[in-house]
Amino acid sequence: MKSKLVAMATIWIGFCIAAQEVNAELQIAEFSGSSSGNTAEFEVRAPWIMDWTVSGEPGQYDVVDIALVNAKTGSFEGVAVKSKTAGNGVRLFEQGGRFYFRVGASMMNWRIKVLQLTPEEARQYKPKAEDSLLDR
């Protein structure tokens, strides 16, 4: 009986380690709000994803624009999200650095998570056509 418990524990530990390796993303930052402004700065290595959600009352949707800004230079890196409806998505970034998001929001709630990925996770990422490049 004792050897069965040890074997089961060994299998369970192996499963847990494998699960951690597959899902190794690390949350770097999370921001939310319902109005325009800049988020706090964050530093991230490539590759990383922006996991975003926009919500609001049906019939009251206006627009949310989220731009990525280089925190060191203040330079505009590109439009990360432009949405006129409630929704969510992810966007992969292949450049690291120190950034912040400039959010333009009217009558909509927004949430952004910055998640660090492993190179393997980034290879498995399958973007939609509109998510493949930043709009400049």
For the ranges 32-41, 68-77, 123-132, the lowest mean pLDDT is seen at 123-132
pLDDT given at position 85: 83
Domain annotation for the chain: domains and CATH numbers: 25-131 (2.60.120.380)
Percent of the chain with pLDDT over 70: 72
Are 64 and 56 contacting, i.e. CB atoms less than 8 angstroms apart?
A: no
Top-confidence residue, 128 or 28:
28
CB distance 40 to 96 below 8 Å? no
Q: pLDDT tens digit string along 38-83? A: 999 999 999 999 999 999 877 666 788 999 999 999 999 999 998 8
Q: Name which of 91, 89, 88, 84 is nearest 108 in CA terms.
A: 84
Q: What average pLDDT does range 104-129 have in this prediction?
A: 86
N-term to C-term CA, the chain: 64
**Letter for the amino acid at 15?**
F
Please give the model's pTM, rounded to 2 decimal places. Answer: 0.73
Residue percentage of the chain with pLDDT more than 90: 53
Q: H or E element: which one contains 2?
A: helix 2-22
What is the total residue count of the chain? 136
The sheet with strand 26-33 has its strands ordered as 26-33, 109-116, 48-55, 87-93
Contact partners, residue 129, CB within 8 Å, separation at least 6: none
